[in-house]
Amino acid sequence: MPLGHEVAHLSHIELLTPVLDKSVAFFVDYLGMTVVGGDDNKVYVRAFDDYEHHTLTLVAHSSSGIGRTNLRASSPDALARRVKALEGAGRSSGWQDGDPGYGPTFVFQDPDGHELGLYWESERYNPTKDLRPALKNQAQRYPGRGVSVRRLDHVNYLGADVEANRDFLRDQLGALVTEQIVLDDGSIAGTWTTFTNKGYDAVYTRDRTGTTGRLHHIAFATDTREDILRAADIALEQGVFIESGPHKHAIQQTFFLYVYEPGGNRIELCNAGARLVLAPDWETINWTEAERAKGQAWGMKTIESFHTHGTPPVGNT
């Protein structure tokens, strides 16, 4: 029996960087995000149409990688139910104060060791006068700077055991498994799961190094496919490293561009068009090895570093 809509959405994520100032400049100048606070060791930035206080916390660290991923519960009752279940599953680190703008946050780990937080209380972002939008149904003025990403879209973790992490999101948090990669030996090499009507919010793909707790990428949504092409042009102008794209994925049909921010973390700009998952009895789409071998949607071969680069780096990856 599916759990139902216990988690509302992906909210705010900690991204670790060994070059904090350069990473902040990337998110502000290239992605068009806005700094809303912080200190010498962490900086809060937001995308213009995220309704909460901030989208990312950039954290000064010895390496790249991902810190805590925070999810908003669908209601106070849903939060209480999930806390009870997570404590029962032995994955709890207990309650902590939330970031600025966020209430008490229940901290726990997925089977791979990625840290997650779940909370209900959240302040609506209140823009200063110079950032106030013309239309009251938008969180913040459109920045018109760089890519001008609208909102956080998804996170793609690397995982040593993809199936265990998929089961955890489905059974403990109520995620729907929309698509996955099933290898010829029956094992699962990637899973795309959603808490919303978007095709996916959280992804696990197999970490070929067998390491746990790493990040493949985080992604931001643009309004149009044209924005992705423009993002490539702006990357060229600003000296941002383009790893791959613009192309179209077969899985989830996302039009994409992958770049690296200065700290080494992979960032995706994505546009899934009007595609939504509406069927309450959605059947998971399984992609075979032979289908994956065809490459991206238009037959472009997937670049090798996409299979090897994760953060923090291990060995020579």
Contacts with Fe ion by CB under 5 A lie at 156, 219, 268
Cβ 103 to Fe ion, closest distance in Å? Answer: 29
Residue 61: in which H helix or E strand, if any? none
Sequence-ordered list of residues with C-beta below 8 angstroms from that of 143, at least 6 positions apart, any chain: 32, 33, 34, 48
Q: Among residues 99 and 112, whose Cβ is nearest to Fe ion? A: 112
Cβ 249 to Fe ion, closest distance in Å? Answer: 8
Rounded-to-integer distance, Cα 221 and Cα 201, Å: 11
Sequence-ordered list of residues with C-beta below 8 angstroms from that of 56, at least 6 positions apart, any chain: 12, 13, 14, 15, 27, 33, 44, 45, 46, 152, 218
Cβ 134 to Fe ion, closest distance in Å? Answer: 31
Q: Among residues 74 and 156, whose Cβ is nearest to Fe ion? A: 156
Q: Among residues 138 and 196, whose Cβ is nearest to Fe ion? A: 196
Cβ 82 to Fe ion, closest distance in Å? Answer: 25
**DSSP category for residue 78:** H
Rounded-to-integer distance, Cα 166 and Cα 180, Å: 10
Q: Among residues 53 and 217, whose Cβ is nearest to Fe ion? A: 217
Distance, C-alpha 184 to centroid of its chain: 28
Bridge partners, residue 108, by sequence: 92, 116
Rounded-to-integer distance, Cα 157 and Cα 25, Å: 24
Rounded-to-integer distance, Cα 151 and Cα 297, Å: 25
Q: Among residues 82 and 166, whose Cβ is nearest to Fe ion? A: 166
Residue 233: in which H helix or E strand, if any? helix 225-238
Q: Among residues 140 and 156, whose Cβ is nearest to Fe ion? A: 156
Cβ 204 to Fe ion, closest distance in Å? Answer: 12
Cβ 174 to Fe ion, closest distance in Å? Answer: 21
Rounded-to-integer distance, Cα 103 and Cα 56, Å: 16
Q: Among residues 156 and 265, whose Cβ is nearest to Fe ion? A: 156
Q: Among residues 81 and 249, whose Cβ is nearest to Fe ion? A: 249
Cβ 55 to Fe ion, closest distance in Å? Answer: 16
Cβ 39 to Fe ion, closest distance in Å? Answer: 30
SS3 helix, strand, coil % of the chain, rounded to 5? 20, 35, 45
